[in-house]
Amino acid sequence: MATVGPESLWLWVGTIGMTLGTLYFIGRGRGVRDPKMQQFYIITIFVTTIAAAMYFAMATGFGVTEVTVGDDALTIYWARYADWIFTTPLLLLDLALLAGANRNTIATLLGLDVFMIGTGTIAAFAATPGTRIAWWGISTGALLVLLYVLVGTLSKSARNQSAEVASLFSTLRNLLIVLWLLYPVVWILGTEGTFGILPLYWETAAFMILDLSAKVGFGVLLLRSHTVLERAITPT
């Protein structure tokens, strides 16, 4: 059985950060009556709630297991993947609704995303360094295609929205691109990549900072201006 080491510090910071983020979004969303605007709140509140629960699971030693790779036993926090399989599609849905995307674009984005996290999960559990890296490559390929759709089709729909919405969309899209690209980097440099460049302690800190930025930071920027969100739902 794997146990939680000193990296639990960062897992508790993550638990507290996600909980505070959730409470903040609930507090802000309470007075919102417009159902179309409520959808952004509902989606974003689910994102941080799921993350808070999964961080708590990791901090308390439930969300962690051991995977044997050759002669080594790797500590794998499986709860990360349980979090990401639900929260990354929800984050993309926020962005797609802001852009006023059609159903096909939304389905393509979410499909690529679930494929990316699914193959990333196989990478985390694969038993040889070679197969781990191969699955990492497949997952990273899906991420690159996803970002291509984000920059192409989705940005095109956003351009049909008002100037304020289009500008908020670009900010969030650029933030997402930078942050999401760092995940495979931390993974491959970290313990999962088996190269042993980034120790578990620092890897856990890095994922925590990325997770808080990609969920709470992203949510704060998205929900900051109700006037802009109102315009997003009345396409011009």
Q: Which of residues 115-144 bind ligand RET (CB under 6 A)?
A: 116-117, 120, 123, 136, 139-140, 143
Q: Which is nearer to ligand RET, 129 or 233 (CB)?
A: 129
Q: List the structure tokens of 103.
A: 């159903």
β-bridge partners, 74? 67
What does DSSP say about strands 72-76 and 65-69: parallel, antiparallel, or unpaired?
Answer: antiparallel
CB of 189 to ligand RET, least distance (A): 11
Q: Which is nearer to ligand RET, 165 or 209 (CB)?
A: 209
SS3 readout for 30-93: CCCCCHHHHHHHHHHHHHHHHHHHHHHHHHCCCCCEEEEECCEEEEECCHHHHHHHHHHHHHHH
Q: Which is nearer to ligand RET, 94 or 231 (CB)?
A: 94
Q: Which helix or strand (DSSP H or E) is residue 124 part of? A: helix 103-125
Cα(87)–Cα(209) distance, rounded to whole angstroms?
A: 16
CB of 180 to ligand RET, least distance (A): 4
112 touches 150 (CB < 8 A): no
* Residue 87 touching ligand RET (CB under 6 A): yes
CB of 183 to ligand RET, least distance (A): 4
* Residue 25 touching ligand RET (CB under 6 A): no
Q: Which is nearer to ligand RET, 95 or 165 (CB)?
A: 95
By rule CB under 6 A, what string of x and - marks binding of each residue 173-212 to ligand RET? -------x--xx--x-----------------------x-
* Residue 8 touching ligand RET (CB under 6 A): no
Nearest to 160 by CA among 104, 99, 96, 103: 99
Torsion (CA) 32, 209, 4, 77 in degrees, nearest 10: 80
70 touches 129 (CB < 8 A): yes
Q: Which is nearer to ligand RET, 91 or 228 (CB)?
A: 91
Name the residues that contact ligand RET, by CB under 6 A. Answer: 51, 84, 87-88, 91, 116-117, 120, 123, 136, 139-140, 143, 180, 183-184, 187, 211, 214-215
